[in-house]
Structure 1
Amino acid sequence: MAQKATKSLAAANTRRLNQTLTATVAIHLFYWLLRALLFRSSYTRKSLLLYLLFSTPQLLINFIFERQSRPTALADGSVKRAGEDLEAKGLTEYMWDVTYWTYGCILLVSLLGDWAWLFWGIVPVYSAYAAWTTYTGMRGGFTDAAGVPQPGASKRQQKMEKRGGQKVQYR
């Protein structure tokens, strides 16, 4: 039972990374096969440049996940390092969003053509929106409803809110 959390994190990371690697290879092969077999006449240097430009962030993210989150084991089978948690909130979550969105865009481009790369433009727009809402929240001190007396409350209620709310009396 020693290191149970480490072993379970290592198993979860290995499973998720293997699934991601399989999905990445399958989706990129699907793109290349359709381009080579069906849409050969419409394939140009511009298409290759767009593919490299828009798929590179996803491939770099996969590489980062592999380097940081792939567990390492010792010769006796014990886990030396479980790796970073792939279910973490924040940047890791955003990186998964970019990965999945790129998968969708590659599939759309495979079926519809190069103009579907326009859908990938939603990623920077979402990033700007998330950064702006974070900035305005920090600028305001995150005081939307916490600690601010309600304007329609009586003076007594405002004083109690200012002191920290109602106190519970024990007998």
Structure 2
Amino acid sequence: MAGGSAKRTAAQNEAALKTLRISMLSCTAFSLVVRLFFIRRSWPPSFFSIVFLAVTHVPSTLLYNYLVNLGSPRRDQSGQLLGSGGDLSQSGLTEYAFDILYVTWACQIGSALFGNWVWWLFSVIPLFAGYKLWNLFGGGLPSFASNGGPDDNAANELEQTGMSKRQQKLQKRAERGDARVRAVKR
């Protein structure tokens, strides 16, 4: 028997998966219809177009299946909710999977409307992945906190007094006689 939170998550997941399925089918269909009926210069498609459509369709299908497997609620024979599935609104890999799907769909539609140069937008994905890996392994830009910046001064003050910022603020108010702070004697 699932609780209210699990039911809410299951409902959100089902709605997200339905939207995802409709979006995936409509983007692919729109791209094909525009290429077939409205833009004669793109039919028959060039080798470049076919390769990019195929190469990007495989990961988008894999990511779609990953999201379906992750977010599909489990139900018993009577329709009772057994498990809500993973939360599709969580950050991390799920968020990146959605982002990759959105970029892929934008490239499919854009290439059908504006030409094959739109596929260059797809390079945002490996560039962003490289940026995240660079920061993950400590290769990011140097931080100013270790060079005597404001964060370093706050850390030194905290070490010297042994009190948090909130405690220091309350102590200063108490010294001024602020009515909001009651001194508790032990």
- TM interval, shorter chain, is 0.7 to 0.9
Question: What whole-Å deviation, never above 9, does each CA across 1:105-156 have from its counterpart, x for those lacking one?
Answer: 1111110122211110011111111222232289x9x9958xx6418x9x87
- Note the aligned Cα RMSD (angstroms): 3.0
Q: Name 2:136's counterpart in structure 1.
A: 134
What is the TM-score of this pair, normalised by structure 2? 0.74
Give the count of matched residue pairs: 163
CA distance in 2, matches of 1:30, 1:63: 21
Q: Name 2:14's counterpart in structure 1.
A: 14
- 1:26 deviates by 0.4
Q: Name 1:159's counterpart in structure 2.
A: 160
Q: Name 1:39's counterpart in structure 2.
A: 39
CA distance in 2, matches of 1:19, 1:100: 12
Pairing 1:139-150 to 2, within 5 Å after superposition: 144=145, 149-150=152-153
- Alignment equivalent of 1:103, drawn from 102, 105, 125: 105
Change beyond 3 A, Cα 1:144–1:103:
farther
Q: Unaligned stretches of 5+ in structure 2? A: 172-182
* 8 Å contact kept, 1:72–1:79: yes
Identity %: 23
Whichever residue aligns with residue 21 of structure 1, its letter is R
Structure showing greater Rg: 2
Change beyond 3 A, Cα 1:156–1:15:
closer
CA distance in 2, matches of 1:19, 1:118: 26
Q: Unaligned stretches of 5+ in structure 1? A: none
- Alignment equivalent of 1:78, drawn from 77, 80, 84: 80
Q: Name 1:26's counterpart in structure 2.
A: 26
What is the TM-score of this pair, normalised by structure 1? 0.80
Q: Name 2:114's counterpart in structure 1.
A: 112
Instruction: Give the 3-state SS of the residue equivalent to 2:109 in structure 1.
Output: helix
Instruction: Give the 3-state SS of the residue equivalent to 1:150 in structure 2.
Output: helix
CA distance in 1, matches of 2:8, 2:70: 16
- Alignment equivalent of 2:64, drawn from 62, 65, 72: 62
Whichever residue aligns with residue 102 of structure 1, its letter is T
CA distance in 2, matches of 1:115, 1:50: 11
* 8 Å contact kept, 1:70–1:83: yes
CA distance in 2, matches of 1:134, 1:9: 30
* 8 Å contact kept, 1:150–1:158: no
